[in-house]
Amino acid sequence: MKKKILLAAAIFAACLSVHAQTTKMAATPPMGWNSYNSFGSAVHENEVKANAQYMAKTLKQHGWQYVVVDFLWS
């Protein structure tokens, strides 16, 4: 009985190990700009557009891809 339990535990551990090795991680976390971090709740369209254009011009090549307009989410 103990041999069966040990065998089952060994098979289970081997399966977990194989799964962990095949799971791929992202090279970077999601990278972007959030309006609330810069302007709080007083963000305007021209400010968001200016930051999005700057990101597209200079940061996109480094993996930045998100522009989030955040206005007091609850």
- Encoding tokens for residue 31? 């990278």
Element (H, E) at 32: strand 32-34
With 0.75 as the threshold, say if the pTM is over it. no
The residue extents of the domains of the chain are: 2-68
Residue in the block written with tokens 């069966």: 4
pLDDT above 70 as % of the chain: 69
Q: What is the pLDDT of residues 33-55, one digit of tens each?
A: 988 888 888 888 898 899 999 99
Residue 68: closest CA among 54, 48, 53, 50: 48
pLDDT at 62: 92
